[in-house]
Amino acid sequence: MFSRVLKSTQLCYVFRSNFSTSSKVDVKVAVLGAAGGIGQPLSLLLKQSPLISHLALYDIAHTPGVAADLSHIETRPKVTGHLGSEQLAECVKGAALVLIPAGVPRKPGMTRDDLFNTNASIVANLIDACAKNCPKAMIGIITNPVNSTVPIAAEVLKKRGVFDEKRLFGVTTLDVVRSNTFIAEGKGLDVTKVNCPVIGGHSGITIVPVISQCTPAVSFPQEERIKLSVRIQNAGTEVVEAKAGAGSATLSMAYAANKFARDLLEAMNGTEGKVQCAFVRSDETEAKYFATPVLLGKNGVEKNLGIGHLLDYERNLVTAAMPELIANIKKGEEFVAKNF
Ligand code: NAI
């Protein structure tokens, strides 16, 4: 009797493991710039994902070592390292998701736009390889200035005839992560339950936290709301200054990018209801790209959830963001028109 019960339990286990789908789908994820300050911790976090079967790491330096190190971790993804431009195609071939943190970070006193001259061509060349080798991949751009590198990526993909606006994301998750942290600290809330959308772009005044749409609902006197919004807009600079020349946010950015990637991979795998803010092609404002909460699905952006209701103060922040955001976007588009 006991052995019969045991057998049926075992059978049940075999049945469940054979028919559990989520962890068995082959999914290749590529990280470009994988040996950098963001790339290494991001790759470590991705290596822990049961949704990934192959983690392919590309950089112009150090990827053999990073890949060898990560490959000893007892988790599902196989890890491969790819070094230098001649190994880029192999890295991205067949990738379902490509995350790009390649390029230089800020030093104290620099704006994100100051990175344009170096990072524009890095992103354009990496995207060109994606267009040729994984034209259907979801692409998450971390490299700054995101307000320009996303339009650059879109224009390169358009030139190659493979642009799908649902599959291209500027990763702005760190702005949401910071907002959640600061609001929870200020209000004494459980941070794991706080979610504050951040819209607009990803630099200074183009970052627009929508505290009035935070869940749970929080209220601040106007002066405190302004202070908090300004802190969120300048939070990246807080880290740049604290690191005093040694770079910008890397660990919190890796956390944020992993959070974004996890939700996107789950949505691609059929989980419904995954929402993340991201800088995407948008008709919400006169800026062609604009961050809003988006519902993720099997094909990327399932639905843009839009800006929603704003307080007058928040609407004024959006208005103030527009000239810089539109100029950043135009600069990215013109770069590709001139150079590609
Ligand atoms: P890092 O300098 O530590 O690492 C960058 C990596 O990119 C290096 O390993 C470098 O070898 C590699 N690289 C340079 N040229 C390359 C190329 N042509 N192909 C492939 N790899 C290349 O910089 P970190 O701190 O990792 O930052 C990376 C980027 O992410 C910066 O542009 C930074 O501004 C941006 N960033 C974005 C954030 C966001 O919220 N979206 C937040 C923080 C940083």
The verdict on the CB of residue 287 being under 6 Å from ligand 1 is: no
User: In ligand 1, which atom is closest to the CA atom of 39?
Assistant: 26
Q: Is the CB of 237 under 6 A from ligand 1?
A: no
Report the pLDDT value the prediction gives residue 242, as an integer from 0 to 100: 97
Smallest Cα–Cα separation from 128: which of 97, 169, 88? 88
Does residue 307's CB lie within 6 angstroms of at least one atom of ligand 1? Answer: no
- Asked whether residue 112 is marked as a ligand-binding residue, the answer is yes
What separation in Å is there between the alpha carbon of 4 and the centre of ligand 1?
58
- Residue 154's pLDDT is 99
- 8-state DSSP, 193: G
Q: Is 304 assigned a ligand-binding role in the annotation?
A: no
Among the atoms of ligand 1, which is closest to the Cα of residue 106?
A: 34
CA distance 265 to 267: 5
Q: Provide the pLDDT for residue 6.
A: 36
Determine whether the annotation assigns residue 125 to a binding site: no
The residue whose CA has the least distance to atom 4 of ligand 1 is: 36
Give the whole-angstrom CA distance, residue 331 versus residue 48.
38
Diameter of the chain measured on Cα atoms: 78
Cβ of 104 below 6 Å from ligand 1: yes
pLDDT at 4: 38
Q: What's the token pair of residue 124?
A: 């354009």
State how far the Cα of 81 lies from the Cα of 91, in Å rounded to an integer: 8
- Please give the chain's pLDDT, 340 residues, in tens: 333 333 333 333 333 333 344 446 899 999 999 999 999 999 999 999 999 999 999 999 999 999 999 999 999 999 999 999 999 999 999 999 999 999 999 999 999 999 999 999 999 999 999 999 999 999 999 999 999 999 999 999 999 999 999 999 999 999 999 999 999 999 999 999 999 999 999 999 999 999 999 999 999 999 999 999 999 999 999 999 999 999 999 999 999 999 999 999 999 999 999 999 999 999 999 999 999 999 999 999 999 999 999 999 999 999 999 999 999 999 999 999 999 8
Is 248 in contact with 142 (CB distance < 8 Å)? no
35 is in an annotated binding site: yes
Give me 50's structure tokens.
């049961």
Total Cβ atoms within 10 A of residue 159: 16
ipTM confidence: 0.99
- Using alpha carbons, select from 170, 209, 154, 200 the residue that is nearest to residue 332: 154
Structure token pair of residue 300: 């990327």
pTM metric for this prediction: 0.94
Residue 33 is labelled as binding a ligand: yes
Check 54, 62, 72, 202 and give the catalytic one.
Answer: 202
Q: CB-based burial of residue 305 (10 Å sphere; 0-12 exposed, 13-18 middle, 19+ buried)?
A: middle
Q: What is the pLDDT of residue 11?
A: 36
Predicted pLDDT at 85: 98
Measure 150 CA to ligand 1 centroid, in angstroms: 15
pLDDT tens digits, 260-301: 999 999 999 999 999 999 999 999 999 999 999 999 999 999
Q: Is the CB of 110 under 6 A from ligand 1?
A: no
Tell me how far the alpha carbon of residue 264 lies from the centroid of ligand 1, in angstroms: 21
| 70 contact partners, CB below 8 Å, separation of at least 6 | 43, 44, 47, 55, 57, 79
Q: How far is the CA of 36 from the centre of ligand 1 (A)?
A: 6
Q: Give the residues across from 280 on adjacent strands.
A: 290
Question: Residue 17 has what pLDDT?
Answer: 36
DSSP state of 317: H
309 is catalytic: no
Q: How many whole angstroms from 94 Cα to the centroid of ligand 1?
A: 23
